Amino acid sequence: MENGHRRRQREDYEELDRLLEDADRSLGDEDLRVTNEALKRAGVKAASMWGEVGRPALPGHTRRLAALVGEVQQDLGRPDRNSPDTLRKDIGELRSRFGLEARRDAAQTTNGERRQ
């Protein structure tokens, strides 16, 4: 804990990436229900990583993940749904963005340890 806030750990980012990877992999089976469940788990994980007291809004990439869950849920009942390639691209962009965030957090931790 730092200043009353939980610092995101490397393990948190690794788990989030695994969940997003599971969602991506499930697209190969073209079963959006499995993809939807994997994205929901990833969304819950991401929200818990940034859901700190006093924080007015989640970062944009976390909000985008929540929106993607909604899009996939809507797609479940539509014959003209998003293509797996589009979803795969969206998931890839999210994984990249969360990866950048992980490196940024790691750098801040390293810099904070050096100052002490």
List CB contacts of 112: < 8 A, sequence separation 6 or more: 2
What's this model's pTM, rounded to 2 decimal places? 0.76
Give the 3-state secondary structure of residue 5: strand
Question: pLDDT tens digits, residue range 44-100?
Answer: 998 888 876 555 567 778 888 888 888 888 877 776 666 788 889 999 999 999 999
* C-alpha to C-alpha distance for 95 and 93, rounded to whole angstroms: 5
